Amino acid sequence: MITQIDHIGIAVTSLEATIPHYRDALGLGEPHIEEVATQKVRVAMFDVGGVHIELLEPTSPDSPIAKAIEKNGGRGLIHHIAFKTDDAAAQLTQAKNAGCALINETPVPGAHNTQVGFLHPKSTFGVLTEFCQH
C-alpha cells in the first residue's frame, strides 16, 4: 500500500554545483550523500517535511541518469517521482496486473538501504514512477 510521496528525483550533471542552490538558496540544510553503485549514481538527499528531494549525479556515461540528461540537451531535469510503500514487490505486481510495463520485475537495492522498483514511463504517461520500501 502506498503511504506517501517518498521523494522526487532530479537528475543533475554535478552534485557539487547543484547542492549549494538547495542548501543555501532554498535553506534546506546539509544533504545526506551516498553512492548507489547498482544504479550508477551518487545521490544527495534533502529532507523537506518528510518528503525528500533526491539529486542524482551519474557516475558512468552509460547510467540511466546520464542518458536522461543527454536526452535533455545536457541539462538537469525532474527524473522521477517515488512513492513510499510497505511492499514494493506487491506494488510492482499490482502495476503489472494493471497493464504497466516494469523496469524491475522485482525490487532492487536503492539509496538509504531501501528496496526499489520502477515502472516504465511509456506506460505511466511519461512519468518514471518508483516504489520505495524502507
Better pLDDT: 57 or 76 = 57
| CATH code of the domain in which 93 resides | 3.10.180.10
The whole-chain average pLDDT of the chain stands at 94
Count of CB atoms within 10 A of residue 124's CB? 16
pLDDT digits (tens, 9 = 90+) for 102-114: 999 999 999 989 9
Confidence of residue 75 (pLDDT cuts 50, 70, 90): confident
Q: Report the number of distinct structural domains present in the chain.
A: 1
- What separation in angstroms does the CA of 53 have from each of 75, 95, 96? 17, 24, 27
Burial 26-56 (b: 16+ CB within 10 A, else e): eeeeebeeeebeebbbbbbbbeeeeebbbbb
Which residues span the domain enclosing 99? 2-133
